[in-house]
Structure 1
Amino acid sequence: MSTQIPLAAPADDAAVAPVSGPSAHAVHAPSVHMPSVHMRAAITWLAIFPLVAIGMTILAPLTESWHPALRALVLTLVVVPTAVYLVVPKLLAGYGSLKRRQARKATAKA
């Protein structure tokens, strides 16, 4: 099995180095453990729910007469980028920090 790992932004094929063998990914990939899909869903929900609740509260008086689809459009135009670019990355970083701290405590006890 052979995979290619980009060394930089490839301008041509010369910037891609072939890597093969069973440990090809283990050698070059950092030891970052992504949370499970269930944990990522919970973290995303923790980001989205308060943003939607706050956004609805702020927009309600301004958009009373608007069609519900237009209200949803305006709300999601604000909430989705805020969640994706600001809130979810901070929550994932906090989760990762918590898991690393727990792992250090577990190895210290062992």
Structure 2
Amino acid sequence: MRERRFGRIVHNDSEVADRPPPGRSAYGAAKNAQIGLTRAWARELAPFGITVNTVAPGFIPVERHDGVPEATRESYRSTVPAGHLGAPADVAHAVSFFASPRSGFLTGQRLLVDGGRARHV
């Protein structure tokens, strides 16, 4: 990327970085370290035309969540101002944007993909 003087790095962190639930402190700390790395690399790599950003999904149900009880999903859903859970495509659209030429002047940014939840909980 440095040789080409162009590149896109998109990290995937988590809303858990902002408010780790009980028992998830190590995961939250690791995600915060990743956010710090994103910001540091953004500054370090910008002179080479490389952007570094991160996408922070909320609870996006995928196959590994099949065992999550409906009551738990509904409890979470009730805290999302958009009124519904997100889908993998919502995260993919955010990553695609950061990877595209349209985001060339954005670096060191963190985009929450959570239906507005982080700003209202």
Both structures adopt the same fold (TM-score exceeding 0.5): no
Q: TM-score range by the shorter chain?
A: under 0.3
TM-score by length of 1: 0.26
- Whose relative contact order is higher, 1 or 2, with alpha carbons under 8 Å and at least 6 apart? 2
* Structure with greater helix share of residues: 1
* Structure with greater strand share of residues: 2
